[in-house]
Structure 1
């Protein structure tokens, strides 16, 4: 029928973030997955509706937006809609570098996790993954998602920053300051400073009051303001200060300064 909304909507991509094999967003109204397995972990949140699924021949129901579903690799599962409205889901397919396969048993026993903090962190990760150029932020957010999943699966508790926090934070800040344009990954920073990624982020936040990716973005915005007032084009400024492209600069610049780079640069440094 003309004008009828499509019954299925799917968006999928492979991000440039280590550990994430695929991002998958979908709206299904009448789809039923046959029994199958994945080589990856299936980390899913629902944005609407309900889904019925079997994992290792045990059926489960997931309804609403409060829970997180975690399906382990190599274990048969299916899935189907429950109501005529179907369901909307966002999925991250994670490889063994995020969760080792030895944790499979815990996920089979309890694939539905009632954890509001984990759900919020996964949502924030999806948001970062949707913006090219925000890979450092996405990698940081994935590190906290991984840590939270480990809390559920093998009861590992986060380490609280100790007396070394300030020194480690200063070293990370120096590293970020030396790589403002080129940038770096969280993995590179953690390896260079011999620290666990989430511990490194906590030390930095405790010392400076913001996470490393936010600090790096702020430094880039400061450089962009200087170049824009010199009359440089926003597209040129974006790459000159380390942003992915002009759209990436526009989004962060407007959030920080309250005006687009183009309008800011047209001021020319003179009052009206």
Structure 2
């Protein structure tokens, strides 16, 4: 494919969004040495391509080295982090896709039921078609000369290709632990409050020691890390809607704007101001 599809222009914005295509967001990083993530998750489906160099890829309990040509995939809620290897240069692009919208694609492919999104089993792939297709789609999305209809059609076509290529395998089955899930639900409901561990334990009817161990096994985060991650997810939504950063910091439970800035950048390797439209 043409070399320019593999090169991320330094003038490309950190994030691309279009009000006519609210189900998708794009991001590019030209120099991965400048970003570093803590373990985090998203409430959307994420798919990305390593466009140059190599990096570490942490996905829940697995860790591996990925390099140019690798496509990575994260289902909503999957804990992950991609970070540089020492000072080696690397670059990548990412798409963040609404899981509900993607569920409609799965219906066309005859997987999943109703409108529920079915997780993709693969965490990464070396499929040339998916890699080059993702680069082409990203280039089209960020091109202001391409109209929204064509971008919409291209996104549909790529997601169909992804589903047909990777969506047939059964995702790993997670053994349900209703008490631990009650703990997560309690955090979800009270994430804007000063939640205490004993309150979570009381809601789940679990001891502190058991809760910490079982929660990490299920969600690959401590309850506190899960709480902070939920606040960041809510902050992302508010920032995309145009809310002032100072208001978002207060509304999402952070001590002050400086604290919010630090935690946001730690999770997303970008400041709230860079993320905000």
TM-score, with structure 1 as normaliser = 0.48
Of structures 1 and 2, the one with the larger relative CO (CA 8 A, separation 6+) is 2
> What TM-score comes out, normalization by structure 2 length?
0.47
